Chains A and B, each alone.
Chain A
Amino acid sequence: DQQVKQNSPSLSVQEGRISILNCDYTNSMFDYFLWYKKYPAEGPTFLISISSIKDKNEDGRFTVFLNKSAKHLSLHIVPSQPGDSAVYFCAASSSRWNKLVFGAGTILRVKS
């Protein structure tokens, strides 16, 4: 039972354009959401997060949007850079838990 779904296995974007990565979740108990980036042979690194009391959080080129009614969040990267090419994981948690529940990841390729 996949509680966090990233339906796009991969995404290809031209340098300078916007990258939009999507994530859907099913568990209403989730109240905190995170995005991680992973390069080959490295562990995931934290990118940005959002609490369920907000609908948007911005950090430089990265913005996360949360639509609670649709149980959907997205990560926007603008402008996209070749160094952004990586696997992006969406993760969710609840204040009652100790674990993160991850999606399967989306491979982002930014072409120069």
Chain B
Amino acid sequence: GAGVSQSPSNKVTEKGKDVELRCDPISGHTALYWYRQRLGQGLEFLIYFQGNSAPDKSGLPSDRFSAERTGESVSTLTIQRTQQEDSAVYLCASSLTDRGNYEQYFGPGTRLTVT
């Protein structure tokens, strides 16, 4: 079956512009996560959605970052007024359970470069 998909695969933007990243989770997966990976570092948790519950936004680095999810489907991560330190690979993952300690299935990521 189809895995997690993300678009675009690459995005180059100028500093100060807004960007929107999209994630399509695996059908039926109730939980959705966003992570980012900066060069040479591990994956950094950003935000978690579970059904209709309030999202866990504890990992968002600043108020320039926001995310939405429509029901149990598509999610968009928006970064406003991008900065060079926002350059990273943004990864989306989904899972069947609402417990983060179960296996998460990752998309290929969106590589964001802020010039």
Chain A residues in the interface with B (C-beta under 8 A): 4, 6, 31-32, 34, 36, 41-46, 49, 89, 91, 93-95, 97-105
What separation, in Å, do the CA atoms of A52 and B56 have in the docked complex? 25
Q: List residues 81-115 of chain B with CB under 8 A from any CB of chain A.
A: 91, 93, 98-101, 103-109
B53 nearest CB across to chain A (Å): 10
What separation, in Å, do the CA atoms of A89 and B101 have in the docked complex? 15
Query: CB-CB < 8 A to B1: which residues of A?
Result: none
Establish whether residues A43 and B91, one from each chain, have CB atoms under 8 Å apart when the complex forms.
Answer: yes
Establish whether residues A101 and B105, one from each chain, have CB atoms under 8 Å apart when the complex forms.
Answer: no
Known: A103-B42, A104-B41. A97 touches B100 (CB 8 A): yes
B38 nearest CB across to chain A (Å): 10
Establish whether residues A93 and B43, one from each chain, have CB atoms under 8 Å apart when the complex forms.
Answer: no
Establish whether residues B43 and A44, one from each chain, have CB atoms under 8 Å apart when the complex forms.
Answer: yes
Q: List the 7 shortest-distance A-B pairs measured between CB atoms, nearest first.
A: A43-B106, A93-B101, A32-B101, A102-B42, A99-B45, A98-B100, A102-B43
Query: CB-CB < 8 A to A43: which residues of B?
Result: 4, 91, 93, 106-109
What separation, in Å, do the CA atoms of A41 and B106 have in the docked complex? 12
A99 nearest CB across to chain B (Å): 4
Establish whether residues A104 and B103, one from each chain, have CB atoms under 8 Å apart when the complex forms.
Answer: no
A40 nearest CB across to chain B (Å): 10
The answer to whether B59 has its CB under 8 Å from any CB of chain A is yes
Q: List residues 45-62 of chain B with CB under 8 A from any CB of chain A.
A: 45, 48, 50, 56, 58-59
Establish whether residues B108 and A41, one from each chain, have CB atoms under 8 Å apart when the complex forms.
Answer: yes
Query: CB-CB < 8 A to A105: which residues of B?
Result: 42
Partner of B56, one of A32, A42, A99, A103: A99
Establish whether residues A44 and B101, one from each chain, have CB atoms under 8 Å apart when the complex forms.
Answer: no
Query: CB-CB < 8 A to B35: which residues of A?
Result: 102
What separation, in Å, do the CA atoms of A58 and B88 have in the docked complex? 34
